[in-house]
Structure 1
Amino acid sequence: MSESDQARIPAPPPRQPLPLLQLILVGLQHVLLMYGGAIAVPLIVGQAAGLSRDEIAFLINADLLVAGAATIVQSLGIGGIGIRMPVMMGASFAAVGSMVAMAGMQGVGLTGIFGATIAAGFFGLLIAPFMSKIVRFFPPLVTGTVITSIGLSLFPVAVNWAGGGAHASEFGAPLYLAVAAMVLGIILLVNRFMGGFWVNIAVLIGMGVGYAVAGMLGMVDLGGLSDAPWLRVVTPLHFGLPTFGLAPVLSMCLVVVIIFVESTGMFLALGTITDREVTPGMLRRGLLCDAAASFVAGFFNTFTHSSFAQNIGLVQMTGVRCRSVTAVAGLLLIALSLLPKAALLVASIPPAVLGGAAIAMFGMVAATGIKILQQADIGDRRNQLLVAVSVGMGLIPVVRPEFFAHLPLWMNPITHSGIAMATLSAVLLNLLFNVLGGAGRERMNQAAHH
Structure 2
Amino acid sequence: MTTLANTNKAASAANGTTARIHPVDEVLPLPKLAAYGFQHVLAFYAGAVLVPIIVAGALKLSPEQLIHLINADLFTCGIASIIQSVGFWKIGVRLPLLQGVTFTAVSPMIAIGLAAGGGTPGLLSIYGSVLVAGLFTFAVASYFAKLVRFFPPVVTGSVILIIGVALLPVAAADIVESPMGPMAMQSPVLLSNLAYALGTLAIIVGIQRFFTGFMQTVAVLLGLVIGTAVAFLLGKATFPDVGTAGWVGYTMPFYFGLPTFSITAILSMIVVMIITMVETTGDVYATGEIVKKRITSDDIGRAIRADGLATFIGGVLNSFPYTCFAENVGLVRLTQVKSRWVIVAAGVIMIILGSLPKAAAIVAGIPLPVLGGAALAMFATVAVVGIQTLSRVDFNNHNNIVVVATSVGLGMLVTSQPFVGSAFPEWAQIIFGSGITLGALSAIVLNIVFNHIGAGHGVAVAGRPGGKLVTLADVNAMSQAEFGATFGGLVEKSPWVLERAYAMKPFADTLALRSAFHDALLTGTPDQQLQLMNSFADLGSEAEAGSSYMQDHVHAGLDVLDHDERNDVHDLAVAYRKQFGFPLIVCAPEVERYERVLETGWSRMANSPAVERAAGLIEIAKIANHRFDKLVANANPIASAQVPQFVERPA
Give the TM-score band, short-chain normalised.
over 0.9
What SS class does the counterpart of residue 89 from structure 2 fall into? coil
The residue number in structure 2 matching 1:428 is 445
Match of 2:83 in 1: 73
Correspondence list, 1:72-221, <5 A:
72-106=82-116, 108-166=121-179, 171-221=188-238
Q: Amino acid of the residue matched to residue 66 of structure 1?
A: T
Alignment of 1:203-282 (within 5 A): 203-282=220-299
1:36 aligns with 2:46: yes
- d(CA) in 2 for partners of 1:366 and 1:106? 38
Q: Does the Cα contact within 8 Å between 1:164 and 1:350 map onto a contact in 2?
A: no
Matches of 1:75 and 1:391, distance apart in 2:
30
Alpha-carbon deviations, 1:205-255, whole Å to 9, x = none? 111110000001111121121110000011111111111111111111111
Aligned-partner residue type, residue 352 of structure 1:
P
Cα deviation code 1:267-294 (max 9, x no counterpart): 1111111111111111111001111111
**Could you tell me whether the CA contact under 8 Å between 1:139 and 1:448 is conserved in 2?**
no
State the shift of 1:349 in Å: 0.5
Aligned mates of 2:391, 2:329 — CA distance in 1: 19
Deviation at 1:31, TM superposition (A): 0.8
Deviations 1:8-50 (A, max 9, x none): xxx9952354222121111111111111111111112222222
Provide Cα deviations, 1:402-439, integer angstroms capped at 9, x if missing partner.
Answer: 21323221222222222222222122222233333485
Superposition deviation, residue 147 in structure 1: 1.2
Find the partner of 1:372 among 389, 397, 402: 389
For the Cα contact (< 8 Å) 1:74–1:82, is it kept in 2?
yes
Q: 1:171 to 1:285 in 2, by over 3 A?
A: farther
In 1, distance between residues paired with 2:200 and 2:216?
Answer: 14
The structure that has the greater radius of gyration is 2
Where does 1:293-312 land on structure 2 (aligned, <5 Å)? 293-312=310-329
In the other structure, the counterpart of 1:334 is 351
- Distance in 2 (alpha carbons) for counterparts of 1:411 and 1:444: 42
CA shift at 1:170, angstroms? 5.9
Whole-Å Cα distance in 2 between the matches of residues 395 and 319 of structure 1?
28
Which deviates the most, 97-106 or 203-212?
A: 97-106
- What per-residue deviation string (whole Å, max 9, x for no partner) do you get for residues 123-173 of structure 1? 112211111122212222222222111111011111122223438996521
SS class of match (1:36): helix
1:390 and 2:407 correspond:
yes
- Aligned-residue CA RMSD (Å): 2.4
Q: Determine helix, strand or coil for the equivalent of 2:315.
A: helix
**C-alpha distance in structure 2 between counterparts of 1:148 and 1:304, whole Å:** 23
| Alignment partners' CA distance in 1, 2:81 and 2:374 | 22
2:337 equivalent to 1:320 = yes
More relative contact order, 1 or 2 (CA 8 Å, 6+ apart): 1
Q: SS in structure 1 opposite 2:100?
A: strand
Residues in 2 aligned to 1:12 and 1:158: alpha-carbon distance in whole angstroms: 39
Output one character per residue of 1:91-123: Cα deviation in whole Å (capped at 9) or x when no partner.
122121122122223465111111111111111
The residue type paired with residue 58 of structure 2 is A
Partner of 2:268, secondary structure, is: helix
- Partner Cα separation in structure 2 for residue 413 and residue 280 of structure 1: 27
Letter in 2 for 1:70: A
Match of 1:350 among 367, 372, 384: 367
CA contact (8 A) 1:265 1:423 kept: no
Instruction: Select between 120-129 and 59-68 the one with higher mean Cα deviation.
Output: 120-129
- Listed as ranges, the gaps of 5+ residues in structure 1 are 1-10
Cα distance in structure 2, aligned partners of 1:445 and 1:279: 21
Structure 2 CA distance for partners of 1:447 and 1:412, relative to 1, 3 Å = farther
Residue identity matched to 1:235:
M
TM-score (norm 1): 0.92
Cα offset for 1:85? 0.6
Contact 2:422 2:433 in 1 (8 A): no
Alignment partners' CA distance in 1, 2:511 and 2:345 = 34
Q: Taking structure 1 as reference, are residues 220 and 64 closer, same or farther at Cα in structure 2, changes over 3 Å only?
A: same
The corresponding residue for 1:6 is: none
Distance 1:339 1:242 in 2: 26
* Cα displacement (A) at 1:299: 1.2
Three-state SS of the structure 2 residue aligned to 1:104 is: helix
Counterpart residue type for residue 172 of structure 2:
V
Give distance in 2, aligned partners of 1:448 and 1:275. 22
Q: Which amino acid aligns with 2:204?
A: I
Give the match's secondary structure for 2:179: coil
Number of matched pairs: 440
CA contact (8 A) 1:164 1:173 kept: no
1:59 paired residue number: 69
**Contact conserved, 1:115 with 1:243, CA < 8 A, in 2?**
yes
Give the secondary structure class of the aligned counterpart of 1:32.
helix
> Structure 2: how far apart are the matches of 1:59 and 1:76?
25
1:8 alignment partner in structure 2: none
Any unmatched runs of 5+ in structure 2?
1-18, 460-471, 474-505, 516-651
Partner of 2:301: 284
Deviation at 1:354, TM superposition (A): 0.8
- State yes or no: 1:47 paired with 2:57: yes
TM-score, structure 2 length as denominator?
Answer: 0.64
CA contact (8 A) 1:65 1:337 kept: yes
- Give 1:266 shift: 1.0
Counterpart amino acid of residue 22 in structure 2: P
C-alpha separation between the residues in 2 aligned to 1:446 and 1:326?
39
- Which residue is 2:495 aligned to? none
User: The residue matched to 2:423 in structure 1 has which SS?
Assistant: coil
- CA deviations over 1:286-321 (Å, ceiling 9, x no partner): 001111111111111111111111111111110011
Q: Which amino acid aligns with 1:340?
A: P
Aligned mates of 2:128, 2:73 — CA distance in 1? 16
